[in-house]
Amino acid sequence: MADKKNASESEHARRVREMFAGIASRYDLLNHLLSGNTDKRWRRLVARKLQDALSVKGARALDVACGTGDLSLALAKATGAQVVGTDFCRPMLEIAARKAKTNVSSEIPFVEGDALKLPFVGESFDAVTIAFGLRNLSSVETGLEELFRVLKPGGRAAILEFSRPVVPGFRALFQFYFARVLPKIGGVISGSRGAYEYLPDSVSRFPDQKRLAALMEDLGFAEVEYKNLTGGIAALHLGMRPLS
């Protein structure tokens, strides 16, 4: 039974890793194009929300499932903290490393690693982030447990992810764009229609705003709150690892 579960998790990880490797070179272009650059604003907000947690001298932040590193770079620029990015897809990390070289003054190590088994000791970061990564994991719970584990007591987690638009008419309109229009444009530009069909599929399986907040609380996060972004197309969830 455990073997079967492990095999299906490995298969899931392999498919997700290959999919991102296949679209890595077009990933940034498509992100900015398909969101009308709104994604940049969302990531800057994450960095602003973590400014206090990262204001202490020598503060460290971990950006999990960092992909091509846009959030890692935004964090480094906005806070001056020591940022580490981690992802299990090497082609995405290679792009992140190239961008960091020319865009930020501090060095950002990009480390290959699985979000379900982070290659870092516990209680070692003042803040952890994951942007558009959590819904890709075979277990959202294990992903959250790992974020919690590597946070120092008192440290802050920020989870940016697609969510459920809150206004019904807008939700229907957005669902049409997301499920029908976006896979076509994404497919043509990236050469992988499958990856952009997977996107709305994975979002539909992901917990909505309230369920994700409840899950974070169940797993021990304190001061859990969320903010809907652009009518709930995305949501930013924040939580703290309690001091004791």
Ligand X SMILES: C[S@@+](CC[C@H](N)C(=O)[O-])C[C@H]1O[C@@H](n2cnc3c(N)ncnc32)[C@H](O)[C@@H]1O
Is residue 120 part of the contact set for ligand X (CB under 6 A)?
no
Compute the distance between CA of residue 92 and CA of residue 239 in angstroms, rounded to an integer: 27
CA gap 66, 69 in Å, rounded: 5
Report residue 228 as tokens: 């809907």
Verify binding: residue 131, ligand X, rule CB under 6 A.
yes
| Rounded least distance, CB 42 to ligand X, Å | 9
Q: Kindly tell me which residue out of 45, 47, 61, 65 binds ligand X, with binding defined by CB under 6 A.
A: 65
Applying CB under 6 A, which part among 83-91, 150-158, 180-188, 231-239 lies near ligand X?
Answer: 83-91
Sheet with 110-112, edge to edge strand ranges? 110-112, 82-87, 60-64, 125-131, 151-162, 234-240, 222-229
Tell me the closest approach of the beta carbon of residue 32 to ligand X, in angstroms.
Answer: 10
Q: Binding residue for ligand X (CB under 6 A) from 61, 67, 75, 195?
A: 67
71 belongs to the binding site for ligand X (CB under 6 A): yes
Residue 221 neighbours by CB under 8 Å, 6+ apart: 144, 148, 157, 239, 240, 241
Per-residue mark of binding to ligand X, 134-173 (x: CB under 6 A)? --xx------------------------------------
**Nearest Cα to Cα of residue 67 among 89, 98, 47, 82:** 89
Residue 91 within binding range of ligand X, rule CB under 6 A:
no
Nearer to ligand X, 82 or 86 (CB): 86
20 binds ligand X (CB under 6 A): yes
The DSSP 8-state label assigned to residue 15 in this structure reads H
Return the bridge partners of 62, or none: 84, 128
32: tokens are 């900015």
Piece of the chain touching ligand X by CB under 6 A; list 85-93, 177-185, 216-224, 236-244: 85-93
66 binds ligand X (CB under 6 A): yes
Radius of gyration of the chain (CA): 17
Q: How far is the CB of 14 from ligand X (least distance, A)?
A: 10
Q: What is the largest CA-CA distance in the chain?
A: 51
Binder to ligand X among 114, 124, 192, 228 (CB under 6 A)? 114
Nearer to ligand X, 71 or 236 (CB): 71
Of the candidates 106, 111, 82, which has an alpha carbon nearest to the alpha carbon of residue 96?
111
Binding site for ligand X (CB under 6 A): 13, 16-17, 20, 65-67, 70-71, 87-89, 92, 114-116, 131-133, 136-137
